[in-house]
Amino acid sequence: MTTVNPADLSASLLAIVNTVVSSRGGAPVTIDDVVLERPRNRDHGDWASNIAMKTAKAVGANPRELAAEIAEALTGVKGVSGVDVAGPGFINITLDAAAAGALAKTVVEAGDSYGQNDSLAGQTINLEFVSANPTGPLHIGHTRWAALGDSLARVLKASGATLVSEFYINDAGNQMDNFGASILAAAKGLPTPENGYPGEYVTELSVRVLELVPNLLELPDDEALAIARETGYQLQLTEIKESLARFNVHFDVWFSERELHALDPATGRSAIDTAIDRLRAQGHVYDADDAVWVKTTDFGDDKDRVIRRGNGIFTYFAADAAYYLSKGDRGFAHKIYLLGADHHGYVHRLKALAGAAGDDPQKDIEVLIGQLVSINGAKLSKRAGNIIELNDLQSWLGTDALRYSLGRYPADSPLTLDPEILQKRTNDNPVFYVQYAHARTHSVARNSAESGVTREVFDASLLTHETESILLGTLAEFPRIVRQAAELREPHRVARYAEELAGAYHRWYDNCRVTPMGDEEVTDVHRTRLWLNDATGITLKNALGLLGVSAPDRM
């Protein structure tokens, strides 16, 4: 049985185009130049390509004549039933029913692996996201990055990358001292200190700290402060981890900033000291005004950055430098940072840091900036006072609705969500629409079993209805969508695809029965359609899985 999927067809088309182009003295094209699209008008075939128009000028040919030559060769490709040239040089390709329908069996046999590809095989990537300060609950901004970052990690892995997802814990510096002082003040019943952290959550932490350390208030102030800081930090970090776990986000590495400041007993030096030495060896560190500087302007930064002040205190940039170098030391050739909307200034700084470390700022590091998100009617946290908490959003809207809705938009677009729509069990709610389609595939499978319809026969040539052609074509695009989502760092493409697939499935369901009606006998058409039904369910589940969203069997 011949299966013709977009990847196979693109490969065949590439070989033909290069043969034609070579005969005309032109340079070969690559697979990236061969773009197949689904025609809006189904009368124009299953796939269309503009490759003749893209290459005609380079070989001095008329686009339509070049398209005709390519089309003639395409007619000899197995599984292709017809090729037409339209307009100025579009090539419209029609597959025979058996070749198109064979995909249903391929998907079912692939199961959970359908959609996976090797486009990023060999790439080692460190993906850092969320990285909230461990001094308070996660808020709505963290929620968006948690959803997008985790979905990006999933599509990168599905495309063959060796990837580690990482949370950088900012657990060093004055903020931690202020956090500890806030907890200790709350334990003593005193007002929040200057530069401290307000909110009921601090009071809650102080109660829990006192439960763990009953004699806290009897200790000297310095000792009590250190204990309040450390115990409160561990409690708050645990809450952050638990909140993310409930949100279906799990990190491979939780990297503590403290590790960068810790002194090596053998040398008495820290990772930050070593980082400065390494940057100096690269020729990008200099001393001026009693401070140590990194010449980041060599790599496009708007000004050089102080890495150690005249008083010997390291700047935040020093920790950033040591952290960046640690990623390379751990074997990650490529680093992706996902930062919030208020971190635009970090883009040039981090890229300059990569250059100073000897990496290629254009290739070895990416900094993605997410825009603000709001939810109509969302209330500020009673615990934190001035933020909208992830925990409250989860309780209100549910993990699936929240993750899907945050995942279906590009990271760089400001976003306002409508909670009324997200809580509806109607087709107006995108996540319900997709999940319901998946549940419907299982309902059809259950009804089929009761009616005696099994997958013991598969005859792809029987899948001839127009809605079957559309559904099969949509299924065929899933691996390409996953690959694009990974390469472009745009997991929202998977969500939009899932909605398209759900729509194609619902239309097919309305037109093509899997189970016989009344006394009608079970035929091979029913059996073959069950394969297509199950292939759709598998693909919907795989797509939802890449978004960290559940795929219920019943709704």
Distance CA 485, CA 158 (A): 10
Q: Dmax of the chain from CA atoms?
A: 93
Q: Which two structure tokens, joined as six digits, stand for 531?
A: 């394969």
Least Cα distance to 523 among 476, 470, 457, 444 occurs for: 457
> CATH 3.30.1360.70 spans which residues of the chain?
6-95
3-state secondary structure 59-121: HCCCHHHHHHHHHHHHCCCCCEEEEEEECCCEEEEEECHHHHHHHHHHHHHHHHHCCCCCCCC
pLDDT at 320: 95
Alpha helices for 132-220 (secondary structure H): 140-158, 174-188, 200-212
pLDDT at 99: 80
Q: Which two structure tokens, joined as six digits, stand for 551?
A: 């795929």
Instruction: Give burial (CB, 10 Å; 0-12/13-18/19+) of 360.
Output: exposed
Q: Which two structure tokens, joined as six digits, stand for 252?
A: 């491979």
CB 63 within 8 A of CB 52: yes
Residue with token string 């003040």: 185
Q: Which two structure tokens, joined as six digits, stand for 116?
A: 């996976």
Question: Can you give the pTM of this predicted structure?
Answer: 0.90
Distance CA 61, CA 52 (A): 9
Least Cα distance to 549 among 399, 425, 396, 429 occurs for: 399
pLDDT at 3: 58
Distance CA 381, CA 391 (A): 9
Q: Which two structure tokens, joined as six digits, stand for 71?
A: 């089309």
Which contacts of 311-319 are long-range, i.e. CB under 8 A and separated by 24 or more positions? 314/261, 314/272, 316/173, 317/349, 317/353, 318/272, 318/275, 318/276, 319/172, 319/257, 319/260, 319/261, 319/272
Strand partners, 338: 368
Query: Would you call 288 helix, strand, or coil by DSSP?
Result: strand
Q: Which two structure tokens, joined as six digits, stand for 504?
A: 């194609």
Distance CA 130, CA 506 (A): 37
CB 115 within 8 A of CB 15: no
CB 161 within 8 A of CB 118: no
pLDDT tens-place values along the chain, 555 residues long: 555 677 788 889 999 999 998 898 888 989 888 888 878 776 778 889 999 999 989 889 999 999 999 999 999 898 898 999 999 999 999 888 788 899 999 999 999 999 999 999 999 999 999 999 999 999 999 999 999 999 999 999 999 999 999 999 999 989 999 999 999 999 999 999 999 999 999 999 999 999 999 999 999 999 999 999 999 999 999 999 999 999 999 999 999 999 999 999 999 999 999 999 999 999 999 999 999 999 999 998 889 999 999 999 999 999 999 999 999 999 999 999 999 887 878 898 999 999 999 999 999 999 999 888 899 988 877 777 778 999 999 999 999 999 999 999 998 888 999 999 999 999 999 999 999 999 999 999 999 999 999 999 999 999 999 999 999 999 999 999 999 999 999 999 999 999 999 999 999 999 999 999 988 999 999 999 999 999 999 999 999 999 999 999 999
Instruction: Spell out the residues 6+ positions from residue 192 whose beta carbon is closer than 8 angstroms to its own.
Output: 182, 185, 186, 198, 202
CB 156 within 8 A of CB 127: yes
Angle 364-286-311 from CA coordinates, rounded to 5°: 110
Which is it for strands 124-128 and 334-339: parallel, antiparallel or unpaired?
Answer: parallel
Distance CA 73, CA 13 (A): 9
Least Cα distance to 209 among 221, 194, 225 occurs for: 225
pLDDT in tens, 309-362: 999 999 999 999 999 999 999 999 999 999 988 787 889 899 999 999 999 999
pLDDT at 436: 98
Residue with token string 């394969």: 531
Residue with token string 């010997």: 312
Residue with token string 């460190």: 126
Distance CA 119, CA 486 (A): 9
pLDDT in tens, 412-438: 888 999 999 999 999 999 999 999 999
Strand partners, 270: 263
Q: Which two structure tokens, joined as six digits, stand for 120?
A: 């990023």
Phi, psi (deg, nearest 5) at residue 432: -65, -40
Q: Which two structure tokens, joined as six digits, stand for 438?
A: 């998946």
CB 413 within 8 A of CB 370: no
The half-sphere exposure of 333 on its side-chain side, counting CA atoms within 13 A, is 7
Distance CA 392, CA 378 (A): 9
Q: Which two structure tokens, joined as six digits, stand for 254?
A: 């939780």
| Helix (H) / strand (E) containing 537 | helix 524-546
The half-sphere exposure of 491 on its side-chain side, counting CA atoms within 13 A, is 30
The gap from C-alpha 475 to its chain's centroid, in whole angstroms, comes to: 20
Class of domain 425-546: mainly alpha
Class of domain 6-95: alpha beta
CB 86 within 8 A of CB 92: yes
Distance CA 250, CA 319 (A): 24
pLDDT at 35: 83
> CATH 1.10.730.10 spans which residues of the chain?
425-546
Phi, psi (deg, nearest 5) at residue 196: -85, -175
| Helix (H) / strand (E) containing 285 | strand 285-288
Residue with token string 């329908």: 101
CA separation, residue 280 to residues 276, 283, 359, 361 (Å): 6, 5, 15, 18
